[in-house]
Amino acid sequence: MNALGPAGFLLIALAGAFGALLRYLLDVLLSAAQHRRATPGTRIFPLGILLANSLACLLVGAGAAWAARHGIAWHPGDLDSWPGLLVLALVLGVGGGLSTMSTFIVAAVSLWRSGARAMAVSYTGLTIGAGLAAGLLGGLLASLLPW
């Protein structure tokens, strides 16, 4: 596992930080735009988190499909090369930092507790459906890549 030495771990950590920052920016920018247009007392649909989770699923689906197509498996023997490490940084680092199960659950529970039960259920269904669709689309897009 030479590539997973200090430089490899640093690459994955930096990729995770990038994904987390991107998630934060998506959520803040979309939430701010929603709050500007909303009337007082209106509940805000967690669109930023939905988009971040969907993008993460697209990225993970594409990365996993690309890795499989190039014979890169998810075991340590395949991760000691730079292509394997880059896929790992993209999928686990950026994808892991970008996605957020905990914030998804907090948003859904908050909507439910505030009385916006239909919005909570629709948000949960949309998140699961969009995540599955994005993962499949990512795999399809990766299969179309020429390299």
Q: What is the pLDDT of residue 127?
A: 97
> Annotation-wise, does 54 bind a ligand?
no
Owner of token pair 């730079």: 82
Q: What is the pLDDT of residue 146?
A: 82
Q: What is the pTM for the complete model shown?
A: 0.88
Q: Which of 17, 54, 46 is nearest to 105 (CA)?
A: 46
Distance (Å) of CA 126 to CA 21, 69, 75, 107, 120: 23, 29, 32, 13, 10
Q: What is the pLDDT of residue 1?
A: 46
> Annotation-wise, does 96 bind a ligand?
yes
